[in-house]
Amino acid sequence: MDYTPIKKSNIDQLSVEPNLLNLQKTREAFKWEDIDRELDGLEGGGLNIAYEVLDRHVETSNKDKIALYWEGKNGETETFSFHDLSRLTNRFANVLTKLGVKKGDRVFTYMDRIPEIFICLLGALKVGGVIGPLFSAFGPDAVKDRLGDCEARVLITTPKLVPTAHEILEDLPALETIIIVNKRGRDYDLKDKEVSYEDLMKGASDEFDIEKTDKEDYAIIHYTSGTTGKPKGVVHAHQAIMGHYATAKYVLDLHPEDIYWCTADPGWVTGTSYGIFGPWSNGISQVVYEGGFGAGHWYRIIEKYKVTVWYTAPTAIRMLMKAGEKPVSKHNLTSLRYTCSVGEPLNPEAVVWGDKVVGLPFHDNWWQTETGCIQIANYPVQDIRPGSMGRPFLGVTATILDDNFEKELSPGEEGHLALKKGWPSMFRTYWNKQELYDSRFKGDWYITGDKATRDEEGYFWFVGRADDVINTGGHLVGPFEVESVLIEHPAVAEAGVIGIPDPLVMEVIKAFVSLKDGYEPSDDLIKDIKRFARKKLHALACPRKLEFLPGLPKTKSGKIMRRLLKARELGLPEGDTSTLEE
């Protein structure tokens, strides 16, 4: 794949001077202790994420600044200042205290993207609770597994979703209280264990003394996306806020005047790290849209709120590409100055599309639930090499290790992506799975489970998840490379590539493809796509088989589930499908 780098190194071309002007120079000067000093900490010692994202702004000129512009799925709107959110979270902290919630208790939310989700999560952090946000599209088994795994004490949900909880209540002996948020005023009679959010909030005080949490106290449990197997409960401590704050400042390049929009749901780590903690610890106004994906709706949100910085995901970008350029031309998107992407490999075609159609290339960055914050990134002031994840963040040491996890490989060599352990937002454990946690570290390195290469200039290139890399005739082929070529074909909207066993060459490559509107599956089209791939790929990396699907199986957070494609192809058990999008 030959894409010319997109030149971004001329500061004069950028509308705003980036926070990070020179990666190398800043890297040399960078100290996590300085970031620590930029945060406030609690009076008398300790660190609490909720204080850093809300209360500290109440002491500054940000007090009455809008923190949240919320738009509901029916078009209703609400705004909240930092001061409003500080008071409301104090109230909710008082509610939880009255219900007997104590430091270390697990408090889960299970609701749509309504403002109360932010109030509840941050209020729970104020009492020292360990928060677990769940995506509202989860079914009963997914909710049961997660609440059961970490013995959640409180669940906060809505009349629409509470029937799911009723189905599983018997299996959750540790669950003492269900708080019902009835934002839309539905007819609802409280049942056993249930209390009303609105009633309790009415009587609660606006004042609350935040629990004196330490930087090492647990703050968040996030279950991973389940792309490769059963989701794991990744535990983060309050110190993670250092990573959220620093990366939101230097990678998302947030400036005080920005209007920022992160499209991820708080049920996934991107939606908390960068839909709550990163922007608000920097005192930034953000937009939250409750509705789901729709090209027209999304462009309308950008236009209406004059969004300047936009953080989204490859699947969404591919869907925008599929919807074509017409919806873009109907909206004024000139407020946008910087766009980023995370969650899956970002095909070079998608980077270039953004540059061509919106006038801004998407800046890819890489991280995981386990890393808590962005680790490898493209920065506004650097040239983008389409298809690359970028360079390690300040204070992060990334490398490529051999199969024994001992030797660091040279530029161009493919191996295991690893990070030097010890960055502040590193996960502290997998809940109830300490052995699995320990197995992820080899010496000083955290092994990410992804394979990648590094080039001479220090840019990292994703190859595939270690489990997804295909061995064909002794050659290792990463699915991302093949998928990226396939989506360059004008008919292809999405592609998922797997290896299937072959007696001669170990594995051959099979591609699953969904088509753009206006294209019909046919044998001729299969031939044409294969021919197209042959021109761009090594002979062994070309798909031997190709099948059309109306859509690819994805997690609810939008990641292609190759393990499911493989299980279905080979007639094997599908494994955990709790995060599968319906």
User: Which residues sit at the interface with Mg ion, rule CB under 5 A?
Assistant: 224
Using CB under 6 A, which residues numbered 293 to 352 contact ligand ATP? 342-346
CB of 213 to Mg ion, least distance (A): 27
User: Binding segment for ligand ATP among 38-46, 180-188, 365-373, 530-538 (CB under 6 A)?
Assistant: 365-373
Among 81, 157, 227, 315, binds ligand ATP (CB under 6 A): 227
Note whether 382 binds ligand ATP by CB under 6 A. Answer: no
Nearest residue (CB) to ligand ATP, 84 versus 364: 364
Nearest residue (CB) to ligand ATP, 283 versus 372: 372
Note whether 543 binds ligand ATP by CB under 6 A. Answer: no
Site size for ligand ATP, by CB under 6 A? 24
Please tell me the number of Cα atoms within 13 Å of 382 on its side-chain side. Answer: 24
User: Is 269:370 a contact under the CB 8 Å cutoff?
Assistant: no
Q: Which does 378 bind (CB under 5 to 8 A by kind): ligand ATP, Mg ion, none?
A: none
Nearest residue (CB) to ligand ATP, 66 versus 319: 319
Q: How far is CA 493 from the centre of its chain?
A: 22
Nearest residue (CB) to ligand ATP, 52 versus 481: 481
The pair phi, psi for residue 431, each rounded to 5°, is -55, 125
Secondary structure (DSSP) of 305-346:
HT--EEEE-HHHHHHHHHH-SHHHHTS--TT--EEEE-SS--
Nearest residue (CB) to ligand ATP, 290 versus 481: 481
Nearest residue (CB) to ligand ATP, 135 versus 208: 135
CB of 389 to ligand ATP, least distance (A): 5
CB of 225 to Mg ion, least distance (A): 7
CB of 302 to ligand ATP, least distance (A): 22
Q: What whole-number distance in Å separates Cα of residue 312 and Cα of residue 270? A: 9
User: Is 207:89 a contact under the CB 8 Å cutoff?
Assistant: no
Asked whether the CA dihedral 113, 117, 119, 125 is positive or negative, the reply is negative
Q: Which does 272 bind (CB under 5 to 8 A by kind): Mg ion, ligand ATP, none?
A: none
User: Binding segment for ligand ATP among 14-22, 121-129, 219-227, 545-553 (CB under 6 A)?
Assistant: 219-227
Q: What whole-number distance in Å separates Cα of residue 174 and Cα of residue 161? A: 20
Q: How far is CA 518 from the centre of its chain?
A: 31
CB of 207 to ligand ATP, least distance (A): 37
Note whether 481 binds ligand ATP by CB under 6 A. Answer: no
Using CB under 6 A, which residues numbered 446 to 465 contact ligand ATP? 448-450, 462, 465
CB of 111 to ligand ATP, least distance (A): 20
User: Binding segment for ligand ATP among 3-11, 23-31, 159-167, 361-369 (CB under 6 A)?
Assistant: 361-369
Asked whether the CA dihedral 86, 92, 98, 101 is positive or negative, the reply is negative
CB of 342 to ligand ATP, least distance (A): 5
Note whether 559 binds ligand ATP by CB under 6 A. Answer: yes
- The residue among 292, 287, 306 whose CA lies nearest residue 80 is 287
Nearest residue (CB) to Mg ion, 400 versus 485: 400
Q: What whole-number distance in Å separates Cα of residue 226 and Cα of residue 204? A: 38
Q: What whole-number distance in Å separates Cα of residue 262 and Cα of residue 340? A: 9
At how many degrees (to 10) do helices 523-536 and 479-486 cross? 120
Nearest residue (CB) to Mg ion, 528 versus 576: 576
Nearest residue (CB) to ligand ATP, 211 versus 344: 344
Among 52, 364, 481, 494, binds ligand ATP (CB under 6 A): 364
Q: How far is CA 275 from the centre of its chain?
A: 9
Q: What whole-number distance in Å separates Cα of residue 55 and Cα of residue 211? A: 13
Note whether 468 binds ligand ATP by CB under 6 A. Answer: no
- The residue among 429, 431, 354 whose CA lies nearest residue 386 is 354
User: Is 408:418 a contact under the CB 8 Å cutoff?
Assistant: no
Among 226, 266, 275, 424, binds ligand ATP (CB under 6 A): 226
Note whether 425 binds ligand ATP by CB under 6 A. Answer: no
User: Is 556:133 a contact under the CB 8 Å cutoff?
Assistant: no
CB of 400 to ligand ATP, least distance (A): 14
Q: Which does 253 bind (CB under 5 to 8 A by kind): ligand ATP, Mg ion, none?
A: none
Angle in degrees, CA 260, 270, 43, rounded to 5: 80
Q: Which does 462 bind (CB under 5 to 8 A by kind): ligand ATP, Mg ion, none?
A: ligand ATP
Q: What whole-number distance in Å separates Cα of residue 437 and Cα of residue 469? A: 23
Grouping H, G, I as helix, E, B as strand and the rest as coil, residue 447 is: strand
Nearest residue (CB) to Mg ion, 55 versus 265: 265
- The residue among 166, 195, 200, 161 whose CA lies nearest residue 178 is 195
Note whether 498 binds ligand ATP by CB under 6 A. Answer: no
- The residue among 323, 310, 426, 314 whose CA lies nearest residue 370 is 426
CB of 416 to ligand ATP, least distance (A): 11
Q: Where do contacts with ligand ATP occur on this chain (CB under 6 A)?
A: 224-229, 231, 342-346, 364-366, 368-369, 389, 448-450, 462, 465, 559
